[in-house]
Amino acid sequence: MDKEFEYFQIGQKGILIRDNKVLIVKLADQIDIWDLPGGRLDKGEMAEKAFKREIKEEIGFNDFAILGIVDHEIWRTQNGTPFCGIANLIKNEKDDIKLSFEHTEFKWICEDEIYNYKYIWQNMERMIKNGFRYNKLFKQNEK
């Protein structure tokens, strides 16, 4: 008997923390919905290449370090499509944020402000919280 497997859409987000604040971006096409920079893989695209492309498109970074995956979530979209969302901790200390047309503004928020915003992905608050946790571990290891 042949098995059938799910085919997922994959989205990747970047958690960028500077001075103990995380970058969030406000979506242009939705009212009061916030997000992390990133996006989906195009058909046939490799994950790391897609992630770098999305970060460049959304916040203008050509050069940044991917420190690692800090969280993921699997769910079905409103139309039933299986979706896997991945949150990566990234590092870039120097470049200015240059927003794409997909966003109207950005903010740097503290860890205790995470729950003051509504996000595009379910459990994005947890992902950001884990980003802060892993960022602290990376900083400890740098010492």
Q: What is the pLDDT of residue 6?
A: 87
Q: Which CATH number fits domain 9-142: 3.90.79.10, 3.40.390.10, 1.10.569.10, 3.40.720.10?
A: 3.90.79.10
pLDDT tens per residue, range 114-133 = 999 999 998 999 999 999 99
Token readout for 81 is 């499509």
pLDDT tens digit sequence for 17-40? 999 999 999 999 999 999 999 999
Would you say 139 and 18 are in contact if contact means Cβ atoms under 8 Å apart?
no
Query: How far is it, in rounded angstroms, from Cα 78 to Cα 66?
Result: 30
**Contact by Cβ (8 Å): 25, 105:** yes
Helices (H) and strands (E) in the chain — how many of each?
Answer: 2, 7
**Is pLDDT of 138 > 90?**
no
- Whole-angstrom Cα distance, residue 28 to residue 41? 20
- Per DSSP, helices labelled H in the chain are 47-59, 124-142
pTM score, whole prediction? 0.93
Q: What is the pLDDT of residues 51-71, one digit of tens each?
A: 999 999 999 999 999 999 999
CB 99 within 8 A of CB 106: yes
Is the pLDDT at 142 greater than 80? The verdict is no
Q: Mean pLDDT throughout 130-138?
A: 95
CB neighbour class for 138 (10 Å; exposed up to 12, middle 13-18, buried from 19):
middle
Q: Domain boundaries in the chain?
A: 9-142
How far is Cα 41 from Cα 53, in angstroms, rounded to an integer?
9
CB-side neighbour CA atoms (13 Å) of 138: 19
